[in-house]
Chains A and B, each alone.
Chain A
Amino acid sequence: MRRIFAALAAALLLSAAVPVSAAEELSSAAPAKTQTGVTINVYNWGEYISAGGDGSLDVNAEFTKETGIRVNYTTFEDNESMYSKIAGGGASYDVIFPSDYMVSKMIRENLLQKLDFQNIPNFRYIGKDYRNPVYDPENAYSVPYSWGLVGIFYNKKYVKEKVDSWKILWNEKYAGKILMFDNPRDSFGIAQKILGYSYNSTKIEEWNAAAQLLEKQKPLVQAYVMDQIFDKMSSGEAWLAPYYAGDAATLVQDNPDIGFAIPTKEGTNFFVDAMCVPAGAKHKREAEAYINFLCRPDIAAANMETVGYSTPEPEAKKLLPEEMRENEIFYPPESIIKKSEIYTSLPEDVGLQVDALWAQVKMGGAGQTGTLVAVLAGFLFLYLAIVVRKKLKRRREVSPPR
């Protein structure tokens, strides 16, 4: 009995030694020591990680199993809400996933910490095209997680024409069946492409023109949504929805009626979502260990296979199933990528104007200060009138007229 035990122990020790020495290439052992029992707060987009449903890997659980670090995983809908929570919400996250332009905005406002790449050795798997990107030129603050293009999802049963231009979203034939992005950059971006402007224009007139175009579209729009499009498209509630290419993995695969197309006439948006550590993060080492883990090719492949977005790691791409690798939706040809434009962060005054225009579009036109003052004054007048009338009535009751 004891011999078997000793043999087992020896085998265990040997097997532990082997991965460390031989498979250095694919190991995720981070040089820095991380503490176990720590919980990190990860803030990511919705439906953006392999979470273990339908036989796929539960990445967060794997991470906890391998490192002992627990993950408090919460989600946000768009970059701006994430920014609001970080900038003003008093919330302390350890890993966040902003998009390109948001990374540069947050760097500018000192909301991100510089990463210690000693703790992220798996960074070597990131493709050369994605290093030192325009939004983080020194590549000090971010590690790319995914990239993709924006296109239009359409219901083949009701939309029979060719989908090659953003203008189809303004087509009265589909009134009430059109969805739009519920965030300013993406929605304005579509209008800007139709008008032939750059996404990153600093000319206020161009933004105003785009806002007017969006206001014209408003009566045709069913709803401004983000991840709710999954539900609305698959149930046939809506027929046209611009969204990110990766989501075709979920929508098109599960539903033969739904198709995806990139408007080739005007071009589209090329985006990169990156992993960053906010300035106030309390567990930087553990955060970096998480980022490192996500960069491991098998993990990156598992994530991108479930989520559908494109991976910036050639090694991970090799691990994807062939239908995905060869699929032009997820890995479009150079010709399309050349026509696409990336968002960059806008200067502050333009940004504030865009926020105001966005609220205006969703509201259906600006109001007048005068109206509001009139309304409040009206209520106040009503209140005073009632009080005065009561006082007069009481005085009359106390001293009745003779």
Chain B
Amino acid sequence: MKSKASAYPYLVWMILFIVVPMALVVVFAFTDRSGAFTLKNLEGVGQYSNIFLRSIWLGAIATAFSLLLGYPLAYIVARADAKRQNVLIMLVMLPMWMNFLLRTYAWMTLLEDSGIINRALAACGLPRAHMINTPGAVVLGMVYNYIPYMILPLYSVLTKIDPSVIEAAQDLGADGRTVFLRVTLPMSMPGVISGVTMVFVPAVSTFIISKMLGGGGNLLIGDLIDMQFLGSAYNPNLGSAISLVLMVLILICMGIMNQFDENGATEGGVMV
């Protein structure tokens, strides 16, 4: 059944709801309130370069932590026996299905100066730590919310590695460390790339996490865009310009990521 006709309704939908909105963003980015062409919005974006840098920096740190913390767990689960694996993966996915806002909100209770962690520290006689409303809290929120998106692709890829390849390497005299560095790690690259993409993109563009855990003084790109459309500084043209720059940035980052994916094993960044 090779007819293309069944895709026509979708093509119409695609053009109407994906292409046209993007075009509108571009149009708004290059016009002002009265509809005239202008480059002022893009200039305005330049003023917020601090925010871009901060978002990229925090997003990168969060991604790195997710990778460092998530890879070992994925490795351990992939090595477990089949029945255990299912249960463990289910336990990893469970928090992901809880509402994102509630999970972030819960960290507020834990991190506040008069919150649970500090109370526990005080009870043990240790000094209190100021954790909430800092960039650290924002990174923690990002890692917490997005680490399952790192663990799942890694797990998926690690379980597909043919054990006979590992055995062959061991037969050739490689020790545990070499096996990992020379065989497992390169073969799990598609998963790493998938995971990194799926964590970096939402981390860079979040606004809830920075609003709740950052105290309004740690603005990220997402906060900025929100302010321009539904927040305290209404300016849809500037907001569109910021969105456009964000999109370009992400496209370039993904381009860089895809260069490491030799075999095109990742299909559009979805977990296989």
Contact = CB atoms under 8 A, between A and B. Distances in A.
B256 A383 contact: yes
Interface of A is mostly: helix
Interface stretch (A24-32, A60-68, A136-144, A371-379): A371-379
Given A222-B133, A223-B216, A89 B230 contact: yes
Contacts of A355: 232-235
B256 A376 contact: no
Contacts of B170: none
B49 A367 contact: yes
A182 interface: yes
Contacts of A116: none
A183 B229 contact: no
A375 B50 CA distance: 11
A237 B50 contact: no
B49 A372 contact: yes
A364 interface: yes
B53 A375 contact: yes
Contact of B234 (A80, A367, A380): A80
A89 B50 CA distance: 28
Contacts of B46: 367-373
A379 B253 contact: yes
B148 interface: no
Given A81-B230, A224-B215, A383-B252, A237 B112 contact: yes
Interface in B163-220: 215-217, 219
Contacts of A218: 217
Given A235-B114, A363-B50, A367-B47, A376 B248 contact: yes
A373 B53 CA distance: 11
Interface in A354-402: 355-356, 358-360, 362-373, 375-376, 379-380, 382-383, 386-387, 390
A231 to B, nearest CB: 9
A383 B234 contact: no
B234 A83 contact: yes
Contacts of B48: 359, 363, 367, 372
Nearest to B262: A390
Contact of A387 (B47, B216, B227, B259): B259
A367 B50 CA distance: 5
Nearest to B239: A88
A182 B249 CA distance: 29
A360 B49 CA distance: 11
Most chain A C-beta atoms within 10 Å of own C-beta, residue among B45, B50, B216, B229: B216
B130 interface: yes
A359 B233 contact: yes
A78 interface: yes
Given A364-B50, A365-B50, A367-B50, A236 B114 contact: yes
A221 interface: yes
Contact of A222 (B215, B219, B227, B252): B215
A221 B231 CA distance: 21
A358 B133 contact: no
A83 B235 CA distance: 11
Interface of B is mostly: helix
Given A371-B53, A375-B56, A383-B252, A84 B229 contact: yes
B35 interface: no
A184 interface: yes
A184 B232 contact: yes
B43 A369 contact: yes
Interface string A173-201: 00010000011100000000000000000
A101 to B, nearest CB: 14
Contacts of A364: 50, 217
Contact of A379 (B115, B130, B215, B252): B252
A78 B232 contact: yes
A225 interface: yes
A370 B47 CA distance: 9
Contacts of B56: 375
B78 to A, nearest CB: 29
Contacts of B232: 78, 80-81, 84, 182-184, 355, 358
Interface in B98-133: 112-115, 130, 133
Contacts of B112: 235, 237
B51 A367 contact: yes
B94 to A, nearest CB: 28
Nearest to A362: B219
B259 A386 contact: yes
B236 interface: yes
B9 interface: no
A192 B50 CA distance: 26
Nearest to A379: B252
Nearest to A226: B216
Given A183-B232, A184-B232, A223 B47 contact: no
B52 interface: yes
A365 B253 CA distance: 27
A128 interface: no
A183 to B, nearest CB: 6
A376 B242 CA distance: 13
A87 interface: yes
Interface string A76-106: 0010110111011100000000000000000
B264 interface: no
Contacts of B268: none
Contacts of B252: 376, 379-380, 383
A356 B41 CA distance: 12
B217 A221 contact: yes
Nearest to A390: B259
Task: List the 3 closest A-B pairs by CB distance, nearest first.
Answer: A369-B46, A223-B215, A224-B216
13 contacts: A80-B233, A182-B232, A221-B217, A222-B133, A224-B217, A237-B115, A355-B235, A363-B48, A364-B217, A367-B48, A369-B49, A375-B52, A390-B259
Given A360-B47, A376-B252, 7 more contacts: A80-B234, A88-B234, A359-B233, A364-B50, A365-B50, A367-B49, A369-B45
